[in-house]
Chain A
Amino acid sequence: MYKIINTEEIGPKIKSYEIYAPNIAKNAKVGQFVILRINDTGERIPLTIAGTNLEKGLVKIIFQEVGKTTMQLASLSAGECIKDFMGPLGYPTEIKKYGTLVSVAGGVGVAGVVPVIKELKNVGNKIITIVGARCKDLIILKDELRQQSDSIFFATNDGTYGIKGYVTDILKEVINKEKIDIVYAIGPVAMMKSVSEITRSKNIKTIVSLNPIMVDGTGMCGACRVTINDETKFACVDGPEFDASLVNWEELISRLGLFKNLEEIAINKFKHNQGCNCCKK
């Protein structure tokens, strides 16, 4: 059992938890993820490690309520436990000096970007950050992003914060103004795909962190397979980071929707059970 030590609501339906898992906290590196399962009937889902507290043995996860499992996770309080919490999994981000780096973060992707740019800044990279969300409220970790960035730009779909538009609008401008050595992007697949299209045409190396459906997360099942440069790779053991220009995006988008109907059933059942107290949990 893995105890939830702190919970914090950092945005609408977006929560940050710290979980007591000292072994993971000790060995985790930026860019890696965990697999968790809430209880005996739960499913296994991957979440990016958003930070660690080595002294206290804590691992931070940040998640948005989008499916049944994240909704159920959000209903837990500090002091309650998660049944299974395993990691750190996947290859860590390669931390080295590139020069000028643009980090592009969309939605809760910000949670994965913050620890990465912190490390990359530490080794002397200049960090330009571009953040996108549907509206102002959905921009999370603003202070942390500012702190780790040499310059920062915001885009919202409705214009409530930063420019009205998309991260790609800003990215194009940044690329035109300045020589960029590398781009690092985490966010919705459609965003990462658009970023990749822009940078590929300019020959700028771009790293993305992919989030396909996973089951075991250790290489055993192949649910998370993605096509990279026409070859089948497993995001859990070969990734989760890949060269964006080599990713088959259409396939990834399609595979993410594989169980849409069934996910809907699970969500409805969960919401129904939440309505009354007799069958809660």
Chain B
Amino acid sequence: MTKIKNLLSFVTQSRAISHTNPREHILNCLTYGLLVIVALCAGFLLWDLSSSPRDGFFHGKRDSHTLILDLEHIQELAVNPEAEQRARNVNCTFWDCLNIYKCEHDRLKVYIYPLQEFVDEQSDKTATTLSSEYFQILEAVLKSRYYTSNPNEACLFLPSLDLLNQNVFDKHLAGAALASLDFWDRGANHIIFNMLPGGAPSYNTVLDVNTDNAIIFGGGFDSWSYRPGFDVAIPVWSPRLVRQHAHATAQRKFLLVVAQLNILPRFVRTLRELSLAHSEQLLLLGACENLDLTMRCPLSQHHKSLEYPRLLSRGKFCLLGRSLRMGQPDLVEIMSQHCIPVIAVDNYVLPFEDVIDWSLASVRIRENELHSVMQKLKAISSVKIVEMQKQVQWLFSKYFKDLKTVTLTALEVLESRIFPLRARSSRQWNTIDTNARSTFNPLFLPSLAPKSQGFTAVILTYDRVESLFLLIQKLAVVPSLQSILVIWNNQKKSPPHLSTFPSISKPLKIRQTKENKLSNRFYPYPEIETEAILTIDDDIIMLTTDELDFGYEVWREFPDHIVGFPSRIHVWENVTMRWHYESEWTNQISMVLTGAAFHHKYWSHMYTHAMPGDIKDWVDEHMNCEDIAMNFLVANITNNPPIKVTPRKKFKCPECTNTEMLSADLNHMRERSACIDRFSKIYGRMPLRTVEFRADPVLFRDNFPDKLKRYNDIGSL
């Protein structure tokens, strides 16, 4: 190496002499110096390439890059026989075996050890061999949002050691291999996937490997071996899954199908007796003579064999019976055929039991009561069967459909323990999200709103000062009014000075907006301190004090509804195949206009921050339909109709009707019909509900002394 250097420097010197320009000379020197460095590096690289592959500097560098799951390049490592092994710590809890300080980043990060093959140097045996399923698990983690290539920022560590099936590896060697992992640290924060634990004769329900403090993602836990809040129960995967399209309940001929091959003999005997007694409803199948696992044969040899697992779709329910092991691949096979599992395995910890509500999608029966399984199933109503079947189908597609989904679900379960704030609630885990009609009302507290608080009137105004002042004066005398907020939606003109406003005894605030947008009326201004908001147009001066007061009273009883005065209806026009907006006096209504309506402030928040699609922008652009949008929003979230208060009123001044207005009106109506069409497309359904009732005071129009009535001045046109 030094010789080359000397040679090069010599050449440089000799050349430099031949030139006279000193600047050129310096540049040349620099260039040659650079060339020397390049040459040196190249030499070093060559030397490195020919050296041992394991401890070259490439490797150190490569590890900080994304791991490549390449079967061609699996490292071989010698198992360190001295590494300290400890048996699985049965007393582990989330609180003491997991090093939480490694997880202080804002999200869960998982480091995967590079593919390694652990070899025992004495016997030359490999610890484990990689299976297709484990490869897929590794791949799923690698491609997920959880993956990190940096072990220093990782919260969890996933060994590439395949421990899925305890039958295929040497327990001791596997333990030693785990213990010799780089970051093992008594297994803290390590996750170990295992689907078939235990072996003859004891068939332990958890992996018999010395896993110390590691978290086990196990497929066969019973409630003794499962460390609640620490381990995660996963399904035992089946390589035999076939795709199944929805199979209606009606087509399922049998009530119960039993096609599991390895049920313990004493339960098989019970089932045989049952199948004799209920031959029409119970399909009991066994293995075929050639022991082909994709076939099942009826126990009486006359019938032809059936294709497994497809045959499971013949049953409404399918049995998962007790075998030598708790977990069986049959569970996912059953679910893949959208058959409702009947679980007759005592104390089996079902997959993802922490988060999945299995009562919605399975039937559990005690092993000792297997003989009464048919009675139990017959007692289930057909409605419930359909519900459960839908749930099974949904659960399968959401959490079980392939190994990737299973892996990510398992990691999410763990994530929700480590970051409980981000955890989904059990409702979110278990509610079928494809059913648009299924709703969750965010105002679910079943109580009346307090009377004392009163409401805030939010008046959207542009420049009609006279009418605005009139309205303010009228509102101010309403006893339940708490304060008034004027939204001045005119940027060209400043609102009149506060001193020019009518003097009232209630607080009055004015807020000028930055843009003339209709959505400004639904902004959840911090000035609004009450639950109830009365949105009111500046020209609605015909409502009486009693009407407003009563309206608030009604809202208190229905705080999650829109409660208001002017109402409208939507109708389907068969001719045009479109929705039509209707303002006639009809027997039905489906919308209450926010020109004079009460709603909970939460809906303003939802309108501003959580309106689906581009509805909000569209409304602001077209200066129309903000009230329809609000009605859609509330109806879609709650499935509740709006409530109209008190009799019909003329909200438009009679002298305003001239021809010009009429044509504008027609246009207006057409646009609003278009809004309904547009919104219902965005929501994917028509959420509005039609009702035939309105709310009146109890003694409305009663032949009763007026002074004893609480609300008198109601119902004048």
Is chain B a partner of chain A in the same complex? no
Chain A interface residues (CB < 8 Å from chain B): none
